[in-house]
Chain A
Amino acid sequence: MGEPLVVIGNGMAAAHFVDALTRAALGRFAIAVVGEERQLAYNRVLLSSVLAGDVARNEIELHPAQWWVDRGVTLLTGHRAVAIDTAIRRVRLAGGATLPYRHVVLATGSRPARPAIPGIDRPGVLTFRDMADIEALSVGPGSKVVVIGGGLLGLEAAYGLAKAGAQVALVHLMDRLMERQLDARAAAMLRDAVEAIGVDVLLQAQTARIEGRRRANAVVLADGRVLEADKVVVATGISPNVDLAYATGLSVGRGIVVDDHMCTSHTGISAIGECAEHRGVCYGLVEPAYEQARVLARRLAGHNASYAGSILSTNLKVSGVHVFSAGDFLGAPGTESIVYSDAGLKHYKKFVIAEGRLVGAVLFGDTGDARWYLDLIRNGTPIEAFRDDLAFGRALAERVAA
């Protein structure tokens, strides 16, 4: 029998961790995965595609049931871990059952933020996070939906709902969409793309309250505008799910504090993914979570492995458009920038350069070389030799340099 290892959480980080660990040390651990959702781990990134009807629900499962079986994993889906008794090294589930452990991996993810908006608790006000939300969000053609929040999640929800036939209004507090990932020009292009699929985008729009006699039926903005709504989706952000860690007495900041080895403040308990706070940063994207999962798997398999943090990068398809951003994409004072755009192709690229090195980038529409740019940023590669070719991609730059 292997060492008992309990993974709390059955999301993308958990699945990736199990994959990595079983590749590195198959049979060394007896793995149990505890997840609140009933279904197998699925690709949360594709929820908007499910909502849009582009992809069937079962198509977004990360691995089939047999995959878990093949790796000897005890899957406890539909179960909630309520406590970790560090003294006796047992995880207690909601039904009272306990699981012994030698290692606990917290991969509890995050939950939607619920801002203090009057009326937010009315029926018909939904979030956009998991499969259950998708079911609740299913709308008929022509129904009116107001999405609050113009970040990635809100846009994904708006895209899915609009594709499914809803009349969608997207309300965003800031003056541009995805302001944490995009600069003004890319955000404006994204707005055009979102509006092209029928979403009505309202910027600098503060939600005053959600109204309705019983169910929510309207969103009232601070400037007095009233947006009718059959449903309201609140997508203003996420907060790391730290309840269990907090109750266990782990060191918790915004997220569960971990060191470069993904160790929490308690021996034998690690944390990865959106619930973790590494060097003061909680990452809300899949790639750092996967990186952390691989680091932890390698450490538990007995290798030297540490995580030095991720250069913040966004590389995704939002509302049908590829976007990428990384590093100091806004350009701090003293930096230089190269800007390229093609209005006809709807491509836009901005590169921020400091001291002869790429320090940030935004790509909109054509992200084909995003990995290369990210590597240039991460490695601090001097770029002056191919600066003129930088905007036109790796193939050109490397041909020219060769």
Chain B
Amino acid sequence: MNAPLQTPASVKTTCPYCGVGCGVLARPDGRGGAMIAGDPDHPANFGRLCSKGAALGDTLGLKTRLLHPLVRNERGVLNRASWDDALGTIADGLRDTIERHGPDSVAFYLSGQLLTEDYYVANKLMKGFIGSANVDTNSRLCMASSVAGHRRVFGEDVVPGCYADFDTADLIVLVGSNAAWCHPVLYQRIIANKRDRGAKLVVIDPRRTASAEDADLFLGIAPGMDTVLFSGLLVFLADQGALDLDYIAAYSDGFATALAQARRLAPDMTSVAAATKLAITDVEQFFRLFQATPKIVTAFSQGVNQSAQGTDKVAAIIQCHLATGRIGMEGQTPFSLTGQPNAMGGREVGGLANQLAAHMDFTPREIDRVRRFWRAQRMATHPGLKAVDLFEAVARGEIKALWVMGTNPVVSLPDADAARAALRKLDLFVVSENVCSNDTVAAGAHIVLPAAAWGEKDGTVTNSERRIARQRPFLPLPGQARPDWWIVSEVAKRLGFGDAFSYRSAADIFREHAALSAFENNHTRAFNIGGLADLDDAAFAVMTPVQWPVSSRAGGTSRLFADGGYCHADGKASFAAVADVALAEPLHDNFPLRLNTGRIRDQWHTMTRTGLSARLGLHLMEPFVEVHPDDAAFYGLGDGEFARLRTRHGACVLKVVLTPGQQRGSVFAPIHWSNETASDARIGALIAPLTDPVSGQPEAKATPVAVAPVTFRYRGFVLARDVPDWPAESWWARVAVNGGDAYLFAGNAELTVWQGWANRVFGNDVELADYCDQQKGECRVAAFREGRLAGALFVSASGLPLWDTVKALFDSDAVDDSARRLLLSGKTADGVAQPGPTVCACFNVGLNPIRACIAQGATTPAAIGMATKAGTNCGSCIPELKRLLHHDAAPLAI
């Protein structure tokens, strides 16, 4: 007998989802999973977790994981390969491409999911040794406008405040942020502040989101008009004499020009109200609240960033804080809410194509500095291509080799169908992934590498408040999975750069990264973690969360800029004049609505992890589009029905959800579903690839779109353990359930087609039960294997059938006969009498009531007949009654 496993200790790590960066305690269960809890000592969350974080344990299985390298053969099939073969093929391909087409013909596309150390190594290889800056990241789709706004105004990508400011502010303004769903733990701190201290909450968003539910003032702004609103605020504050002129004079320049432009855009509240389509009283209320409240945090996220004028929006917001001196002090700061767990870490190492490394730029002096530090053989000399441009260069055949790490651009990029098509043109297409299939791998990756996942990775991440925290492994690397830094270093070695990539651990890389941040810094760069550069391995192992700058061993920094100290060469902040405000693409008769996009509460990005959790799947099960009831009536859409959305770039079909919280003229669809999880719901394919001229971030929330009803005769669900191929023109969405997968679907195939389909999908080695009410349009099939429910299909012409009972049985080890007999009703057996097998056919008396009657003392068939009527008509069951009497009444053998 095995000795019982000792209870392993909890490992302190960091949640891999949003930018809040909550501390997590993971206690491995010894069977490949772990118990997950919030870390009560972590300053981001003090023990709280949101629904996604709390369900991390559901996502740890190996069912969908890629466990060994794959290389595509001549026939297009991905075959298992050794690491050595795969890495050698990549190195040969990169070397060959560079030799023939130059360094700018290769590119890396990285992810805010990577750890800082992974990012650092990839960035170093591309910018210091391949000699190109074509290394960009999905953070471009997420945070680039905040980066650009920070750099324009502050001189560096710096968030001035910290989470504690949300606890002490008296006014919190959320702009383009549904923090209640997208940064839930931080949002709970806002709510606690409201509750305990009476802080006011203003929510500015074209949609009345979950965050608006708690708002003291909700401003349902017209799409794209944030800059007008904040320019109007600046003008209002100036006119009210509410500016901090001393602060402006001491620590900034360019204010007069910026104010003049603001005045041109938004001369008074009337013009603001007109442009933003807000009630003038609401505008005034907001402005006066801002004026009257010293301690304000203005937090912004994708609603601001994902815009072709995102940089201006960020600047317009920041400048209101700057001009009133509400910055760098307790409860006073503009605050960029980061989307991903390590978007900021990626920015620190230079993971964006327009930054070099460690917050340094492509100036000759800085290029030289980094070259010397890295002992680089071939430094990039100019910025590389930003994400959208990068994939367009792939489409034009200018980039010949692409390595995607930890992201799913075929789902997340704008104009995603075009991106997918472009990938086919690559000479070398490498993907480092956790999962064995996703839309990007399916787009024809030549080599797929098994990367370590959360729970296995070792390194650091930086959250929205500049806090560097450890992600620690608590599970062994499965199969042949390896950390991304190891994979990149191994390719670098094979390219002949072994001396510069001889890392033994994440700690090695972190020390080098920290040293670079301090290298010839002399207070010219706020990002300085030189104080961590000499952590030994043991100290790195136990490193506690710390906010940069960490220029000495004394510790981190909560806030910056209270007393100036900005990062432009003159040490000042710089007010910028914003451009005239307009959305990138005007509406058109054929595309009369705006397509807004975003996240939902319980899914993360393309669902490769959260999509594995049954509890997360239940929140919003199907890809949907939210439509205002008046728009729905105009376009003929009904709640719960379906709509085809079409833009100039792509189309999809989504379930219609009517909500008055949706602004008229605008519809909203979530970004999460891919071809892995739904038939026709890749929103990225619809989004215009139009970007902010400074940040390069695409305008993901305002693409002109047309909507039209789509009619399906049938709705239904499938429970299955393998992925079925669907009848033609079916609409479906996958939902994780305990015991397998569920698919909610709609279609027009006839019931007989569905029945035949079920027979194929559920296999030959099952017992099938079926139910069909042809006239009512009901068809149900259940498949049983060895007493378990192996699969189920329910199709109905009268709406999505009930599935809770069937779903529960799907997860059950055994389905007893009584549950089985009711299963295809879709209803629970609770409270339904179970007579058992029929004994008396005439009066339909079952075995169970007869047994009960015998147990109560009946000794003859006549007595049973008196009580139950059994045997009192034709009498043919009387011999059986006698046997039951004999058997049930027999004394126990001794």
Contact = CB atoms under 8 A, between A and B. Distances in A.
A392 B825 contact: yes
Interface in B861-888: 873-876, 878-879, 882
A371 B876 CA distance: 16
**Considering residues B771, B776, B841, B846, which has the most beta carbons from chain A within 10 angstroms of its beta carbon?**
B841
Contact of A391 (B771, B843, B844, B873): B771
B7 interface: no
B825 A287 contact: no
A345 B822 contact: no
Given A43-B875, A286-B873, A368-B838, 19 more contacts: A43-B878, A46-B879, A49-B879, A290-B874, A336-B775, A337-B773, A338-B776, A340-B824, A341-B769, A343-B767, A344-B768, A344-B784, A345-B769, A353-B775, A370-B841, A387-B776, A389-B825, A392-B821, A399-B831
Interface residues of B, number: 39
Contacts of A347: 769, 821
Contacts of A337: 773-775
A336 B774 contact: yes
A341 B770 CA distance: 5
Interface string B345-361: 00000000000000000
B820 interface: yes
B824 to A, nearest CB: 7
A391 B825 contact: yes
7 contacts: A338-B771, A340-B770, A341-B770, A343-B767, A387-B773, A395-B832, A400-B827
B778 interface: yes
Contacts of A287: 842, 873-874
Give me the 10 closest cross-chain CB pairs, A-B, nearest first.
A344-B767, A342-B769, A336-B775, A392-B825, A395-B832, A45-B876, A338-B773, A395-B833, A340-B771, A371-B844
A114 to B, nearest CB: 26
B771 A54 contact: no
Contact of B822 (A322, A339, A396): A396
A392 B841 contact: no
Nearest to B833: A395
Contacts of B827: 389, 392, 396, 400
A366 interface: yes
Contacts of B873: 286-287, 290
Interface of B: 767-776, 778, 782, 784, 817, 820-822, 824-825, 827, 831-835, 837-838, 841-844, 846, 873-876, 878-879, 882
Among A45, A392, A395, find the residue whose CB has the most chain B CB atoms closer than 10 A: A392
A342 B821 contact: yes
Interface of A: 12, 43, 45-46, 49, 54-55, 59, 62, 286-287, 290, 315-317, 322, 324, 336-345, 347, 353, 366-372, 387-389, 391-393, 395-396, 399-400
Given A290-B873, A336-B775, A340-B770, A59 B879 contact: yes
A59 B878 CA distance: 9
Contact of B841 (A55, A59, A317): A317
B841 A324 contact: yes
A107 to B, nearest CB: 16
A62 B878 CA distance: 10
A92 to B, nearest CB: 33
A371 B835 CA distance: 14
Contacts of B882: 59
A337 B772 CA distance: 8
Given A49-B879, A287-B874, A392-B822, A339 B817 contact: no
B774 A322 contact: no
Contacts of A368: 835, 837-838, 844, 846
Nearest to B771: A340
A345 B768 contact: no
B875 A388 contact: no
B875 A62 contact: yes
A370 B825 CA distance: 18
A81 B831 CA distance: 57
A393 B819 CA distance: 13
Nearest to B834: A395
A261 to B, nearest CB: 23
Given A55-B879, A290-B873, A322 B825 contact: no
Nearest to A391: B771
B876 A370 contact: no
A343 B879 contact: no
Nearest to B772: A339
Given A316-B841, A391-B771, A392-B825, A342 B875 contact: no
Instruction: Indicate the member of B820, B833, B843, B874 with the most A CB atoms within 10 Å.
Output: B874
Contacts of A49: 876, 879
Nearest to A402: B831
Nearest to B842: A315
A388 B778 contact: yes
Of the candidates B776, B824, B832, the one having the most CB atoms from chain A within 10 angstroms of its own CB is: B832
Contacts of A345: 767, 769, 817, 820-821
Nearest to B831: A399
